[in-house]
Amino acid sequence: MTTARHTRQREVIAAVLQQAEGPLSAPELLARAQVALPTLGTATVYRTLKLLQQQGEAHAVKLDGEPLYESSGRGHHHHFSCNVCGRVYSLHSCPVALPSGTVYPGGFVVEGHEVTLYGRCPQCAEAR
Amino acid sequence: MTTARHTRQREVIAAVLQQAEGPLSAPELLARAQVALPTLGTATVYRTLKLLQQQGEAHAVKLDGEPLYESSGRGHHHHFSCNVCGRVYSLHSCPVALPSGTVYPGGFVVEGHEVTLYGRCPQCAEAR
DNA sequence: ATAAATGCAAAAGATTTGCTGAAAG
DNA sequence: CTTTCAGCAAATCTTTTGCATTTAT
């Protein structure tokens, strides 16, 4: 395996992700990181994002158009995606109890989970 | 509201989705539908897919690269995504109990849900 | 008739890849 | 030193959009 080197760009990208108020798209992440590192390139962001995900330090949330990335180790939360208007909301209660380390039948070691509920958001449920 | 018209292409697209052995990517869906309807265009597939999703007849599974689409009304199942090798597996037990129609705090009407577990698949868990 | 849907091609995006120079260990 | 990493630009690929024509109702 390759030893991951410590570079300024990886440091900055990870920091931006941790300080973000919510999940960011790759382009957004790039823009924010460029404030500190103007020459940062697109490819580096994607390559770093892939690395961080493999290390479990970040993960992608894919609901709508582009995937959004968020730092792991942030409050546990899930999403609600409206089937009608397409908007995505954050939910604060979690409908599953799967502590990290749980081993699923077959030998799947669970490190995390993501739940998305689909349906009608308050506005769209009303406007029928 | 607009009245959705019944067309041959929508019929074919829905049929392909229902007969598929698993979730399909948009390009795959297009290819299969073109067997029955050679002139079918890309745009129509995407437009129809969007429509079907709004009607709750289909939904997208977004785990890896491109989203995959599957017909609703198929056996309830979820996915396990390996943080290491990236492979995706199907799970047959469901860790949540959220019947359609459940109303979440805030007025969110649940029509469906999707759960993805992340971690190490049997192979990758072993090869440490 | 009228409005909605299709097909095609062009456009728009996001993500990936190849290659050369920079830099971490 | 040696190998990984960054930056840039070009290439890919999926999804969207504009527009003229066809088609369902």
- Contact of B10 with chain A, judged by CB distance below 8 Å, is answered with no
CA B100, B102, B103: angle at the middle one, nearest 5? Answer: 135
Among B112, B77, B121, smallest CA distance to B95 is for: B77
Closest C1' nucleotide to B44's CA: C6
pLDDT one-digit tens code per residue, B6-35: 999 999 999 999 998 878 999 999 999 999
Count interface pairs A-B at CB distance under 8 A.
111
Instruction: Convert the pLDDT of each residue in A26-42 to its tens digit.
Output: 999 999 999 999 999 99
Residue B59 has phi, psi (to 5 degrees) of -150, 160
Domain boundary among the residues A23, A42, A71 is at A71
- Minimum mean pLDDT among A31-40, A60-69, B40-49: which range? A60-69
C-beta of residue B70 within 8 angstroms of C-beta of residue B63? no
List the CATH number of the domain containing B23: 1.10.10.10
Residues of A in contact with B108 (CB under 8 A): 80, 89, 91, 117, 119-122, 125
The helix/strand/coil state of B49 is helix
Inspect the interface and report whether the beta carbons of B104 and A83 lie closer than 8 Å. no
Q: What pLDDT score does B17 carry? A: 94
User: Is there a single domain that holds both residue A47 and residue A98?
Assistant: no
Per-residue confidence (pLDDT) for residue B22, from 0 to 100: 78
Look at residue B8 and give its three-state secondary structure.
Answer: helix
Where among A71, A94, A111 does a domain terminate?
A: A71
Same domain, A105 and A63: no
On whether both B15 and B49 belong to a single domain, the answer is yes
Please tell me the predicted confidence (pLDDT) of residue B87: 67
Q: What is the pLDDT of residue B128?
A: 57
Q: Which residues constitute the domain of residue B26?
A: 3-71
What the block records as the tokens of B41 is 């265009």
Beta-carbon separation of B108 and A93 below 8 A:
no
How many Å does it take to go from CA B20 to C1' D23?
Answer: 28
Torsion of CA B63, A101, A20, A15, to 10 degrees: -110
| Domain identity same for A84 and A117 | yes
Q: Which of A62, A97, A107 sits opposite B125 (nearest CB)?
A: A107
Flag whether residue A111 sits within 8 Å of chain B, measured between CB atoms: yes
A79 in contact with chain B, both atoms CB, cutoff 8 A = no
Give CA separation, A88 vs A81, A121, B107, in Å.
5, 9, 14
Token pair for B105:
């705090």
Q: What is the pLDDT of residue B121?
A: 86
| Pairing mode of beta strands A88-91, A78-82 | antiparallel
Report the domain count for chain B: 2
Do B103 and B67 belong to one domain?
no
* Contact residues, chain A, for B128 at CB < 8 Å: none
Question: Which bases in strand D are touched by protein, i.e. have an atom under 7 Å from a CB?
Answer: 3-10, 13-18, 23-25
Do A45 and A10 belong together in one domain? yes
Task: Using the C1' atom of nucleotide C4, identify the protein residue whose alpha carbon is closest.
Answer: B5
**DSSP-assigned states of every residue in A17-68:** HHH-SS-EEHHHHHHHHHHH-TT--HHHHHHHHHHHHHTTSEEEE-SSSS-E
Per the model's pLDDT, the better-predicted residue between B65 and B80 turns out to be B80
